[in-house]
A and B are shown apart, each in its own frame.
Chain A
Amino acid sequence: MNTKNTKKDLQNAQILNLDDDFSLVKRFIDGDESAFAVLVQRHKEKIRNIIYLTMNNSNSVDDIAQDVFLTVYRNLNNFRFESQFTTWLYRITVNKCKDYMRKIKIRNIFTPIKEAEGKTEDIITPESNDISAIVHKAIGKLPEKLRVPLLLKDIEGMSYQEIAETVQCEIGTVKSRIFRAREGLKDILKPYEEELML
């Protein structure tokens, strides 16, 4: 009986171990391509949401997410197991978002003026009574440096440590940026103080 139980525990532990990100990465490095599929399955939604939050729109989320996993696939063999797999993955994600935003900026330089004029910024109007929409737009107005740590904390529930590793800065900086983001949000939402009960 005891022997049977021990065997079962070991099997469970092995399954748990196999399901762990590190194990999946090891399996992939050892040539098991299916491990990569599990990694994708496990993290794709989080990655898509981080992209969505970082970019502040859903237009290119899947393209960037595809690009993130392609990069992971190509570089997974070089993973050094010094940090969590998710930290590495989120860092790639945030960097891809930054690359994408940089490309858009460059493209806008060469966009004809008339076309560029046509693109109007989202404007928060007092008539808008959807509180979520108002706050969402207000978050979009925050600078990227403040917006990303705030959303990684409040939406993705990451710790300051994880955020610091993802955006590659100090924990103190993350703490400061999250506080400044909240202060900035309060200022942007000042016209709606009463509606939002701020």
Chain B
Amino acid sequence: MRKLYAKYEILSAYLDGELSAGEAKELEEKIEISKDLHEKLDELKRIKQLTVSSVKRLPEAPYFETRLSAGLNQKGGFYERFRKWIPAVSFSALAVVLMVFLKFNPGVIDRLVEEQKSNLAGFYQENLRPLFYASDLSNEDVFNFAFSKQLPLDKSNGQYLKLGYDQGGKEFFEIKTSGNNVPVNNLAKFTATLKLNNAQKRQVDSILESYAGDIQTQVLVNDKNTVAINPNLWNYNKAIVADIMSFARDANREEFNKIVPAGYFAYDNPDVRTIVNKVKDNKDNNYIFFTPDTIFSEHYDFDKEKFKEEMAKAKEEMRKGMEEANKSFREMKINLKLDSSFNRLKNDPSWNKNFKVFIDSNICRVHMSDISIPDIQFPDFDSISAQVEEALRNIPQIIIDMPGGKGQKSYSFKYEFSDSAGTPVRVQIPNVDSILKSIGVFGGDSLMYNDKTDHFLPDSMASMFKMFDDSLMHFNKDEFKNEMKQLQKEMERMREEMKRLRIEIHQDTLQREGDDNSVEI
């Protein structure tokens, strides 16, 4: 192909008269005997002819010299020669001026950066409000925060904040939208396991409530999609655990020792009080701000009292049924969205200085390499965190054996402890099947009843149990017995009622029949 190309190139040069006499003669001889070369030469000739004939020459420009002369007179000066160098000279001069200026004012760039930073910080600090105030932080949430280090950010879409420690032991926190693996009703299980009485339960609630208000101010949000997190949250986490564990030990030492592993040491109440007070009094309000533009750390004082007043006022207005107030309160629910705006932050080089940030479609994790957690001295609390987790795992789960065949009316419940074979409890249950059947509580569709065996099918029983409130699952033996007795009494009463009703209907029917007969006569 290349050879053929070169052969035709020579033809083109020949056509242009660019070959020497010898080369031309040689080529002419070849053309004479080659049809292909002959045809190609003709083709090239036609193209050359077309090119020559197609391009028309421009008409003359009559005033060309006059214009040029004017141009020469105008542009011949120094300025004109200098003009093309103006941009380069300007930039160079500017650079020199800047260098000199910065030489004598070295802090100006830093001041400018700080000013910009402060402007940016000011912008994102506007209207910050506690997130959890709006998202109803329950005692269960506070309990889960203490023991699972998770706080719900948006309950409607499962978004939550999780605290953690990386392999190097440094703190990180992450905002996730899936994978929340905290079991439900942890608090209820905890109190049930410790066999706390109502007064003690109220005490636990009161402890948790006392932290809820403070935790609120540790995570702030605003309408600019900003989330500000106070690193003191870690200390709150430790303080709550210390407080709860200390209370649990004092409330029921026997049950407490059953669930905590050997060697666990719960701090005495006075020590815990000291820790808690230190955590609550901490004034190091260096929040970490997640914004759509960047992540940065900045001091911020949140006026908790003022906010409380505002909220009290808003609630009061709501109570009065003012629609406008309703609206404003609703608007305080702010959800953080891990959308593309967060994703684009990956390219921010300033992060590497203070944070290591990992962002995925449903997670945003911030490792805080240079951000120090306010230094509250916990008496070697970190070392027992593993024990606390172990203790939590020891909170029993309930296993329920379903009755297998006809006539078997007892259910077996068992506590499962990791360090024991379990504590089986047998409970006699009245004939629930027949009761349920007779009163039709669940309707025909929800339960499958086998008439021949006079029994609900086991599978359907399982589905029935799903319908029970979760509170049944964290079992309290005495409470359950009382419940069942209560249920039995209710059933008896209902049976009596039904019997009475049937008799009344029967009598009523007989009376009507008698009336009808009299009319016929």
B65-A41 in contact (CB<8A):
yes
Question: Which of B18, B48, B54, B58 contacts A132 (CB under 8 A)?
Answer: B54
Q: Which residues of A contact B48 (CB under 8 A)?
A: 154, 182
- Type the 1/0 row for A81-104, where 1 means its CB is closer than 8 Å to any CB of B: 000000000000000000000000
Does A168 belong to the interface (CB within 8 Å)? no
Residue of A nearest to B44 (CB): A182
B55-A66 in contact (CB<8A):
no
A49-B58 in contact (CB<8A):
yes
A154-B51 in contact (CB<8A):
yes
Q: Which residues of B contact A131 (CB under 8 A)?
A: 50, 54
Question: Which of A58, A133, A178 contacts B58 (CB under 8 A)?
Answer: A58
The docked-state distance in angstroms from the alpha carbon of A101 to that of B68 is 22
Q: Which of B7-15, B98-106, B243-251, B268-276 contacts A (4 or more CB under 8 A)?
A: B7-15
Does A185 belong to the interface (CB within 8 Å)? yes
Residue of A nearest to B12 (CB): A179
Does B29 belong to the interface (CB within 8 Å)? no
Which interface class (under 10, 10 to 19, 20 to 34, 35 or more) fits A?
Answer: 35 or more
Does B53 belong to the interface (CB within 8 Å)? yes
Q: Which residues of B contact A74 (CB under 8 A)?
A: 76, 81
Which interface class (under 10, 10 to 19, 20 to 34, 35 or more) fits B?
Answer: 20 to 34
- Type the 1/0 row for B44-79, where 1 means its CB is closer than 8 Å to any CB of A: 101110111111111011001101100110011000
A151-B55 in contact (CB<8A):
yes
Does B382 belong to the interface (CB within 8 Å)? no
Q: Which residues of B contact A136 (CB under 8 A)?
A: 54-55
Distance between A78 CB and nearest chain B CB, rounded to angstroms: 13
Q: Main SS of chain B's interface residues?
A: helix
Does B43 belong to the interface (CB within 8 Å)? yes
Distance between A32 CB and nearest chain B CB, rounded to angstroms: 15
B18-A160 in contact (CB<8A):
yes
The docked-state distance in angstroms from the alpha carbon of A173 to that of B322 is 87
CB contact under 8 A between A37 and B55, given known A66-B71, A185-B47, A198-B43: no
* Cβ-closest 6 pairs across A and B: A135-B54, A179-B12, A132-B54, A179-B9, A154-B51, A136-B54
Residues of B within 8 A of A (CB): 5, 8-9, 12-13, 16, 18, 43-44, 46-48, 50-58, 60-61, 64-65, 67-68, 71-72, 75-76, 81
Contacts A175-B12, A182-B48, A186-B47 known; list 17 others, CB within 8 Å: A37-B65, A40-B64, A48-B61, A65-B61, A66-B68, A70-B71, A135-B51, A139-B55, A151-B51, A155-B51, A155-B55, A178-B12, A182-B44, A183-B8, A185-B50, A185-B51, A196-B46
